Structure 1
Amino acid sequence: MAKTFLKNLNKIALTTALTSSLLVTGCATSELLSSNSHVSTNTVEQTLVEDQVVAFGKPTTKLPNMPANSVVIVGEKNSYVLSEGGLDLVNLLSTLDAKSISVDKALKFYSPKNDGYFSGTMKLSYAKLKDEFKRSDLQFFLQEDGKECSTASDKRIGAQRFCFSIPIKGGVFPQVSNLRLLQSKFQTLTKPYSVSIYTTSTSQKVVKKEGTNAAQKLVLLPFALAFDVITLPLQILD
């Protein structure tokens, strides 16, 4: 009788222990899942502005915090003044045969802080028939860090292609004052180039706001006076 009682008592104790263990484990698991649900983050890319390139030029007056020899990408909405990479771009395009140059039509720049400054890369390629290249051309490619990037289509017709990547840095300024003159001068452009600036944000929860105009959030560098630009021969890219 005593043995039976002890045996039943042990079963009860074991069952209680297992139940308690499962309950504790269940609570721990629930707590773990709850904490994990708040740890995940999302990086969202937000376009601040989308614009169309009207021309390339140089400012007639020195702009604040920008070098005197800066290059301007003239847009319909804003002016994108290049503090770095502009002269390299002009040198490349002024030296090479414009008819053989291809430019990545999407000029996409990154502004991590949306403080009026941006950076990015401008990509170009230069292709001609192999027998048209001169020794001086190859030397120039070496100086400008050109990379051989011939496609299968190039090889089929006996052509050779070289690619260039130009690091770009600059700032966003208001629209140039002689925009209408530039638009009337280059209104025959058949291949308009677009320029955009984006930023990224990290959050635990993404909330999509309807009716928000992201372009209005672009921060421009303060500049009291409107400025004119003198156009550069980069319009030949069209």
Structure 2
Amino acid sequence: MSINSQKISISATKTLIAGAALSALLASSGCATNELLESNTRTTTNTVNSVLSQDQIVAFGRPASALPKTPNATMVIVGEKNSYVLTQGGTEMISLLTKLDPKNINVENAMSFTVPNNDGYFQGRMKMSYAKLKDEFARSDYQFFLQNGGQDCSSDSDLRINAQRFCFDVPVQGAIYPQVSNLSMIQSQYKALSKPYTVTFYGKTQQTQTTTSGASTGQKLVLLPFALAFDVVTLPLQILGTVAN
């Protein structure tokens, strides 16, 4: 065989090998693409936030005595269904709710907290504002706002009537207890809050496959396993937002 014939044979062999490799690569890529598409189809998900519970707030208070296993309990959000004991942030909230004039306080109506593990412990933020006419503020008021993280959040409506508003945003953590023991006494002897306040608890974000979209994502709010009912002493601010009649 001549040298030229050998070169042609070698070149043809290389071409065939390259073609085979390319075909294998394309086939492999096609399989991977099909597998990916099929995989995406199987794992398409919807993200949902699960509402574990909603409760109507009856009052704000503090435990009448130290709670077992929750020695740092400070403030209690008294609900119709359960009691929500603040273990962090409660001291700051009590300071705001007791040292400021209740008739000028507005607690954000839509209070919401998350229960990441649905184990009886919740976390979130409590927001409130305090407003009155500018000429009614004293130097001590501004000092109090500075010490407690108050931020000027005056709206156009406030400014039109020469008023000033300060907002407070307090991070809190807490534990869920059963309904307080003296709820009936609180409801019968104290004025209801001037407007309805609702507290909502959310579970952690859940992933639900579309192939099982009919499944329920609802859960039941879990209380602490050691939680017992207790008495509460209400804070003297049952009006919150408007002057009581």
TM-based fold match above 0.5:
yes
CA distance in structure 1 between the aligned counterparts of 2:24 and 2:226, rounded to whole angstroms? 70
CA gap 1:192/1:204 in 2 versus in 1, 3 angstroms: closer
2:33 match: 29
2:200 match: 196
* Equivalent residues in 2 for 1:225-236, closer than 5 Å: 225-236=228-239
Shift of 1:83: 0.8
Shift of 1:57: 1.7
Task: Name the SS for the 1:31 alignment partner.
Answer: helix
* Equivalent residues in 2 for 1:54-65, closer than 5 Å: 54-65=58-69
CA distance in structure 1 between the aligned counterparts of 2:23 and 2:213, rounded to whole angstroms? 45
- Alignment-mate amino acid for residue 73 of structure 1: I
Shift of 1:109: 0.8
* Equivalent residues in 2 for 1:109-148, closer than 5 Å: 109-148=113-152
Q: Select the residue among 100, 109, 117 that pairs with 1:96.
A: 100
Shift of 1:141: 0.6
Contact 1:173 1:222 in 2 (8 A): no
1:205 match: 209
- Alignment-mate amino acid for residue 52 of structure 2: L
Shift of 1:60: 2.3
Deviations 1:45-83 (A, max 9, x none): 111110001111222232123125521111110010111
CA gap 1:198/1:139 in 2 versus in 1, 3 angstroms: same
Task: Name the SS for the 1:234 alignment partner.
Answer: coil
CA distance in structure 2 between the aligned counterparts of 1:67 and 1:200, rounded to whole angstroms? 27
CA gap 1:225/1:50 in 2 versus in 1, 3 angstroms: closer
Contact 2:104 2:240 in 1 (8 A): no
CA distance in structure 1 between the aligned counterparts of 2:151 and 2:179, rounded to whole angstroms? 35
Contact 1:41 1:202 in 2 (8 A): no
Contact 2:125 2:169 in 1 (8 A): yes
- Alignment-mate amino acid for residue 197 of structure 1: F
CA gap 1:29/1:177 in 2 versus in 1, 3 angstroms: same
Contact 1:105 1:193 in 2 (8 A): yes
* Equivalent residues in 2 for 1:156-171, closer than 5 Å: 156-171=160-175
- Alignment-mate amino acid for residue 35 of structure 1: S
CA distance in structure 2 between the aligned counterparts of 1:65 and 1:208, rounded to whole angstroms? 40
CA distance in structure 1 between the aligned counterparts of 2:24 and 2:94, rounded to whole angstroms? 76
Residue segments in structure 2 that go unaligned for 5+ positions in a row? 1-11
CA distance in structure 2 between the aligned counterparts of 1:225 and 1:94, rounded to whole angstroms? 27
CA distance in structure 1 between the aligned counterparts of 2:166 and 2:209, rounded to whole angstroms? 44
Contact 2:85 2:176 in 1 (8 A): yes
CA gap 1:218/1:184 in 2 versus in 1, 3 angstroms: same
> 2:175 aligned with 1:180, yes or no?
no
CA distance in structure 2 between the aligned counterparts of 1:38 and 1:213, rounded to whole angstroms? 23
Contact 1:52 1:194 in 2 (8 A): yes
Shift of 1:23: 5.0
Q: For this pair of structures, how many residues does the alignment match?
A: 225
- Identical-residue share of aligned pairs (%): 56
CA gap 1:35/1:224 in 2 versus in 1, 3 angstroms: closer
CA gap 1:234/1:83 in 2 versus in 1, 3 angstroms: farther
2:223 match: 220
1:6 match: none
Deviations 1:164-187 (A, max 9, x none): 011111100111111111122246
